[in-house]
C-alpha cells in the first residue's frame, strides 16, 4: 500500500468513485461522511492524507481543518464546490496543503494527492536516530511514524531534545511551555510526559527517549 487516505465526503457516489480510484492507484482508502466523526478517526487511525470536503453535515470542513491542525500536521486537501471560495479559504490560513474545486476529475485529484504526499515527505529533515521534529507544523516523526502529539507534548519533546542529556526541572519546563505564568501544577507536566512517552512507546516499543530523573525532572536521551 502506498498510503492511507481519508476521504471526507457526504455525496455517496463521489465518495465511492474516489475510493475506487484510490484503490486502483494502490492506496488504502476510507470514507467518512459526517464531520463529527473526522477528528476522532484521524487520532485513532493516523492516515497519511485527508481529502476534506468543505460542506458537510455535523461539522464543516473549516472547523475540522482547524481542529486537526490543533494536534497534527497531517496533509489536508480541502475540497470546495465553488472556485471563488478558494480565495477566501486561502485568506483564512487554515493550514491546508492544497485546495481543489468540484467538479474535478479523479485523475486530477490523484495528481494533487501524489504531489502533496511527495512534498510532505520531502519536508522531513534527517533527525536524531530516527526522530524528526517539524517545528513549523508541530509534527514529530519517529522511525517514519508520526507521533500525533498535542502542541504541549510537542513542545515538551522539543525542549528536552534541544539539549540531550540535560536535566530540566518541572518548573523550567512549565515556564517554557506556559510563558504567560498560568498556574499549572507539577502533575500537569507529569501527565503530559506520560502521554508523550505512551505515544513514543507505540512508535518505538522498548525505546526510552524521555527519562525521568527522580524528584528533579526529565531529560532526553537517545536510546
Ligand atoms: Ca458536501
The total of structural domains in the chain comes to: 2
User: From ligand 1's centre to the CA of 40, what distance in Å?
Assistant: 20
User: From ligand 1's centre to the CA of 78, what distance in Å?
Assistant: 11
User: From ligand 1's centre to the CA of 71, what distance in Å?
Assistant: 24
Tell me what pLDDT residue 127 has: 46
Tell me: do 21 and 98 sit in the same domain: yes
Q: Assess if residue 108 is contained within a domain.
A: yes
Bridge partners for 145 per DSSP: 142
Order of strands across the sheet that contains 4-8 = 28-32, 4-8, 49-53, 76-80, 98-101
Q: Assess if residue 8 is contained within a domain.
A: yes
Give the span between the Cα atoms of 191 and 153, in whole angstroms. Answer: 10
Q: 160 and 217 in contact (C-beta within 8 Å)?
A: no
Tell me: do 40 and 116 sit in the same domain: yes
Tell me: do 110 and 38 sit in the same domain: yes
Tell me: do 77 and 114 sit in the same domain: yes
User: CATH number of the domain that 12 lies in?
Assistant: 3.40.50.2300
Tell me: do 75 and 19 sit in the same domain: yes
- From 79, 100, 120, the end of a domain falls on 120
Q: What is the mean pLDDT of each run of 10 residues along the chain (223 residues)?
A: 91 95 96 94 88 93 88 88 81 82 91 87 56 86 91 92 82 83 78 95 91 87 81
In terms of C-beta density within 10 A (0-12 exposed, 13-18 middle, 19 or more buried), how is residue 142 classed? buried
Q: pLDDT tens across 112-147, in order?
A: 999 888 877 765 434 456 788 888 888 999 988 999
Tell me what pLDDT residue 125 has: 39
Neighbours of 153 (CB within 10 A): 24
- From 120, 152, 177, the end of a domain falls on 120
Using CA atoms, how far residue 176 sits from 6, 43, 133, 181, in Å, is 35, 26, 17, 9
Q: Assess if residue 126 is contained within a domain.
A: no
User: From ligand 1's centre to the CA of 102, what distance in Å?
Assistant: 10
Residue labelled with grid coordinates 515527505:
121
Domain range spanning residue 8? 4-120
User: From ligand 1's centre to the CA of 137, what distance in Å?
Assistant: 27
Q: Assess if residue 125 is contained within a domain.
A: no
User: From ligand 1's centre to the CA of 211, what distance in Å?
Assistant: 47
Tell me what pLDDT residue 94 has: 79
Amino acid at each position: 500500500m502506498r498510503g492511507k487516505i481519508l476521504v471526507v465526503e457526504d455525496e455517496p457516489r463521489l465518495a465511492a468513485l474516489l475510493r475506487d480510484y484510490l484503490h486502483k492507484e494502490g492506496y488504502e482508502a476510507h470514507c467518512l461522511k459526517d464531520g463529527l466523526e473526522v477528528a476522532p478517526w484521524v487520532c485513532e487511525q493516523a492516515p497519511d492524507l485527508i481529502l476534506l470536503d468543505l460542506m458537510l453535515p455535523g461539522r464543516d470542513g473549516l472547523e475540522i481543518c482547524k481542529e486537526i491542525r490543533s494536534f497534527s500536521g497531517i496533509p489536508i486537501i480541502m475540497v470546495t464546490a465553488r472556485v471563488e471560495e478558494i480565495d477566501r479559504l486561502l485568506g483564512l490560513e487554515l493550514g491546508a496543503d492544497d485546495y481543489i474545486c468540484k467538479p474535478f476529475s479523479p485523475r486530477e485529484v490523484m495528481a494533487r494527492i501524489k504531489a502533496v504526499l511527495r512534498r510532505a515527505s520531502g519536508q522531513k529533515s534527517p533527525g536524531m536516530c530516527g526522530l524528526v521534529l517539524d517545528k513549523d507544523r508541530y509534527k514529530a516523526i519517529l522511525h517514519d511514524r508520526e507521533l500525533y502529539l498535542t502542541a504541549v507534548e510537542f513542545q515538551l519533546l522539543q525542549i528536552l531534545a534541544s539539549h540531550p542529556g540535560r536535566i530540566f526541572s518541572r518548573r523550567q519546563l512549565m515556564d517554557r511551555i506556559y510563558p504567560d505564568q498560568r498556574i499549572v501544577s507539577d502533575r500537569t507536566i507529569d501527565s503530559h510526559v506520560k502521554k508523550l512517552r505512551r505515544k513514543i512507546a507505540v512508535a518505538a516499543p522498548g525505546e526510552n527517549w524521555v527519562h525521568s530523573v527522580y524528584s528533579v525532572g526529565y531529560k532526553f536521551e537517545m536510546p
